[in-house]
Structure 1
Amino acid sequence: MYYIDHYTVKDIPILEVAPINQKSDPLPTVIFIHGIHSAKEHNLHYAYYLAEKGFRVILQDCLYHGERANKQSFQEITFQFWNIVIHSIEELKDIYQYLNGENKLKNNSIGVAGTSMGAIITLGALTKYDWIQTAVSLMGNPAYVEFAAMQIENIRKMGIQLPLSDELINAQIEILKEYDLSQQPDTLNNRPLMFWHGEKDPIVPFESAYSFFEQVKKRYTNQEHFQFYRDPQADHKVSRFGVLKTAEWFEQHLKSKLVPSSH
């Protein structure tokens, strides 16, 4: 049996999922972040598989999403993509401080994961927070500056007018450099990191993430801590293998350090 609690941390709507008989216990914890135009409830299947393995799972609504949605159009939210990413990285600190203050973390064991935009947020957060012990990127891209340039080029090719001046775009790119994991891979510091990506992904290019993996893997002293699962047939949708492998990854790299696995 599992419980789902709904509350807010500052302005952030949260769903918390864990085994009901351990509700009051400190537990190894995973923060799972949704993609753009999605919401926290859409990732409850990940929370189920993780809770089944004894984790507390935190799902939040990112800015302009779910309970935080306002009257912005689909396109307006899309144009806010990088603002949402940076805002969400900063909000992870608030969530972490809340979990710590409420004694919800067992031995400070905490991981972060996400799909698409949520995976991009996860990878950027690794440049900022050394308290993240392990992470999973599902269809993410660590190369913020390169990806942003590609997005701008694609928008212009479609003949869509960007609502920003070139000066503002360049200023935004400068900010992105601070969070660009591809430009500061040393911040990983051998922390376990798993990628899953479909090779036919038309939205977040597979090649960029895989190129990063190939360049960085030699930095890892333990290759088992740095893995890339590629799906030749998948596009921008995580396979069942990817979903289950995410739960296994956290069991192996977050929970196994605390207690012997019961699975």
Structure 2
Amino acid sequence: MTCEENPFKISSGDGWISGVAHKPSKKAPLVLMLHGYTGHHIEDHRLYVDIARKLCAEGIGTVRFDYRGHGDSSGEFEDFDIDEAIKDAENAFTYASSLDFVDKEKIGLLGLSMGGYIAVKLASEVNAKSIVLISPGLRVPMINVNVPTQDGYIYMDALRIKAENAKKVLQRMSGEAYEFAPRLNQPFLIIHAKDDPVVPFSSSEEFIGKLGSKNKHLLSFEKGGHVLSDYGVRRKAYSEIVDWFSKTL
């Protein structure tokens, strides 16, 4: 199927968010893609580009974007606030729903890492029909780590973030999503590698057990790390994601 890839920029909060909309050649379902902490709408080794193009080839549109303070969107990473990122996601969902090619009753969510937490939060608030989570940041053990600060900031290689905002990110991803789980009835696919060094695989096992949905599946891999870095694992994940949304949207 022929697909258009159209850049966009919309207002959000005190700035704007930008990204790319993948448009199939006819009326279509759509998946809103939510990236991870310090990530962007392309994601690790083009993970989100690949997924978006494979979905579009099967007649499913996508919107992938950068939160404020990330990628091409406005703001600085050091000011990043996860609550503002949730507002960005809400605004992106509204934008996606307004696109003329989108079947508004068939919008799904896909979230990686922190984007997995945001997808769960968003799914509890909007009419999302199906959800895919990759290595979702649902219970991150770093919450108990005493991270050193300097002048009120935490430094991460070439980046820094206000310590209070970093703490808020970790607090949100320390189990809050489990509160939403019992009332979420949408189809859920969770993809997680058992050797993930950032988010423990057991957190996805726990979450899927608490989900209210009757259509839920945990796809596990022995290797792949946090962002499915293994070539074969990633191709298998692509296939499963396309198949899942094709059946549930």
Q: TM-score, normalised by structure 1?
A: 0.74
Aligned to 1:33: 34
- Asked whether the 8 Å contact 1:126–1:181 carries over to 2, the reply is no
**Structure having the larger proportion of residues in helix:** 1
In structure 1, the gaps of 5 or more residues are 255-263
**Structure having the larger proportion of residues in strand:** 2
CA RMSD of aligned residues (A): 2.9
- Asked whether the 8 Å contact 2:70–2:76 carries over to 1, the reply is no
Give, in whole Å, the separation in 1 of the partners of 2:4 and 2:99.
17
Give, in whole Å, the separation in 2 of the partners of 1:71 and 1:106.
34
Aligned to 1:57: 62
Partner letter of residue 204 of structure 1?
V
- State how 1:82-231 maps to structure 2 within 5 Å: 83=81, 85-129=82-126, 131-143=127-139, 147=140, 150-154=141-145, 156=146, 160-161=148-149, 163=152, 172=168, 176=172, 180-188=176-184, 190-214=185-209, 216=210, 219-220=212-213, 222=214, 225-231=215-221
Q: TM-score, normalised by structure 2?
A: 0.78
Structure 1 runs, 4 residues or longer, greater than 4 Å off: 69-72
- Asked whether the 8 Å contact 1:200–1:234 carries over to 2, the reply is yes
Give, in whole Å, the separation in 1 of the partners of 2:17 and 2:242.
24
In structure 2, the gaps of 5 or more residues are 154-163
- Asked whether the 8 Å contact 1:127–1:180 carries over to 2, the reply is no
Equivalent position SS for 2:133 = strand
Give, in whole Å, the separation in 1 of the partners of 2:52 and 2:115.
14
Give, in whole Å, the separation in 2 of the partners of 1:99 and 1:161.
38
Counting aligned pairs with the same residue, the percent is: 18
